[in-house]
Structure 1
Amino acid sequence: MNKQTGPLSEVVQSDQAKDIIAPSLERRRLRAYAILLLLDALLLNLAFAAAGLLYEGLWWHPRNMLAVQTILPIYFTIALYNQSYGGKALVDWVFAAKQALIALLISAALLNFVAFYTKSNAQFSRVSVTLGLILAAAALVVLRRIIPVLIAKFWGGRTRNNLIIADGGPEFSLPLSVKVSAAEYELDPSSHDPFMLDRLGRMLQNQDKVVVSCPRERRQAWAFVLKSAGVQGEIVSEPAHELGAIGVQHYEEQDRTTLVISTGPLSLRSRISKRLFDITLAGGALIALSPILLFTALRIKLDDGGPVLFVQRRLGRGNQFFNMFKFRSMKVEQNDANGDQSTGREDDRITTIGKFIRRTSIDELPQLINVLRGDMSIVGPRPHALGSRANNKYFWEVDAQYWRRHCLKPGLTGLAQVRGHRGATEVEKDLTDRLQSDLEYISGWSLKRDLEIVLQTVLVLKHDNAY
């Protein structure tokens, strides 16, 4: 692998490094949960239909089907909360069967409770319903026993991506995991080189768990990097307060203990809700704002005949690079690809139409495409160009906590923006004010807050610092 020569020197990633990029198993798990949920619904219906046939001689007896349709929503509610559709349920059939039976038993008890108080017991045949529950329980257990067999056959037994980074610490391994050498891939957690962090970010992409084994003196640096990457990270170590560990994980077969020092800022449910919010809002905004987008594109093209869009590499989630879209507001020959020079109020690089679209934030609207592509979110820390500086220092040189803001996807707008922290970063406080707001947003994320920030953004689209 080529050596790096400076903080912004580009690294050519080898084919070997590319092979480490793991496929996403999260979508695979979600599909498995959905299929399991549908199969449960089918099996419960078939079980009660068969019970009607066996006891009353009528397949799909209306009374039985009424009972199962009453049970199903209760069963799914309980099953979703007791991890019947969780990662452990895909590989541990005993656990999965136990949780499914508990959900079924509670559902039956609640059905009987509701039927008693609504005086509708007479509508159900006790024998037939009991037989349906027994058949359903048997079917659920059989299905749970089959699931791990199918996973072992078609997925090689893998439902999670586990990465182990060996950096000179105690020997450590996990079944069905990938192990890499930090030295081989030139991974240095103490480096602030964005290209090294991009390479590490791609390696950590789609990993469900990352375990680092390193010497004591490098634990702090690895803890910081893993937290900044927004992954579930662990370090092989005895407990150490300075790492900010949030849990301890024991591996009896390895006779080792790891400290859990990061889990990522959002749970799976939160990530799904945030992504649905992004897709809905970005898709609707692109349709609603299409006349403005088309008019702006035409106006830029007629202004000097140059390209409509300005594409710039920015730092995104996990410190990975992505190409961010903006309407071009500067003269073609003076575009600043790296963002080395902050834009000033009387910047002669800005075109006539550029001044207007920057002042009204219209230049940012093409980032709705980045949101739909999954590079960005509607709300989050704003992505910065690589060459951005404050007081002639790179942002990470002003405050090393800067990297932590990249544990979430960057946003089209954010808490810092609605608080007025926009425009050029002429002094260090311009950056630290934004950083403080970004870290506050990350630690207190909620969908309600995202909606509040979107509504507040409408009020600050035209701002004194937007130039």
Structure 2
Amino acid sequence: MKAKTGRYSGYIRPFSRILDLIIINFLAAYFSGIPVFQDFYALFISCAWFIIAANLGFYEVYRYTKVIAILNCTLKQAVAFTTCCLALAYFYPERFSLSTILLFTTESVVLVLGFKLFIYFFLRKYRIIFGGNFRTVVLVGKEKSTNPLQHFFEENPDYGYKLIKVFDLESHKSEFLNESLSFILDNKIDEIYCSVTDLSSKQLEDFIFFADNNLKTLKFIPNQKQLLSLNSVFEYYDYIPVISQRTISLDESLHKIIKRVFDIFFSTIIILGILSWLTPVLAIIIKLDSKGSLFFVQKRNGLNNKEFNCFKFRSMEINELADIEQVSKNDSRITRVGKFIRKTSMDELPQFFNVLLGDMSVVGPRPHMVSHTNMYAERIDKFMVRHFIKPGITGLAQTKGFRGEVETDNDIINRVRYDIFYIEKWSLLLDFKIIFSTIYNTVKGDKKAY
């Protein structure tokens, strides 16, 4: 339940809709080839825009919404809206031209997106400078559970959350529930965040009952294991509700096609533009530096845990531990040339052949050697979920600092966490963001690239 805070937040979406309506119809009138004042055309494009927006959740932008999510939704909105506008060309063949429609829809979407991002970033600055448009919150749970969210609220005032109090269950006894509920009412708190693992079923029920009857927003803080399964959805078999554990974005046929087309296009550019001349150069340098082949081929686990041959430029001396022991910092097996190509990630470039062959994707969870896959599958919860999609040359976990050597279980746990987020929330724009972040990190230098 969304509480009414009385801070004008409720006016933002109606204002955005009216502004978008003005932009679309003004531009339609501006382009003389579009019969905006004839045959209810203005009504048609307005209805089309808002019907598409309602289905895509175009106006569902919250203070915690990421910019990448806004851009991704805008791209879908633009494609669907352009398709609707082009469909009208059938009824006005003598007046419409493809260029006119494309120019109209492009300018409309760009202006709408510009104002949308302006409002988004203006509110973030407004919250910092003037302290307005905020929600008051309390946290309920043990220190270990609430600490991350407490730090987030304190360090990110631009999100507009003002932390009023933390009810620490380690220092409170049975009376804490009544005390916390009274405090929430007396101080007109907007949102309550409860740690699921620290409260009993009865206490959770009491908080739910209290929130529903006092118009308070109640949210739950999951533990690490629950966090990896948050993408559960309800499906209905007739009137019977069934919970599906997670949705995988790339299970949709259209998404698979889009990602595969991008993979082929991108890998072809790299192979023809870089590997065509870099491979013979490195062949000479690697051969002069140490004995052995140019390429290092290793079995890795891919889609549905099937094994495939992963290609890399050889960066180590030939050794018997290559398929068992992971490379560590200052590893004596790494050659002089190998240090350079590993530091610059050039050793990974032959994997674009794997992408072209369909074994890998440009972006996805990084594949592990077979022996390590078997080891982590036994030790790390949900590790095998990574194999629901093709592995990638780079991935979200790698851009967040979890690449290379796994020094502690915490490294692989966080890698799995980011990989599962990527699997469930994939979009083409997210792929672009990861690719640009990877290039930036490579140029800047990654401390774990060894």
> TM-score under structure 2 normalisation?
0.46
> TM-score under structure 1 normalisation?
0.45
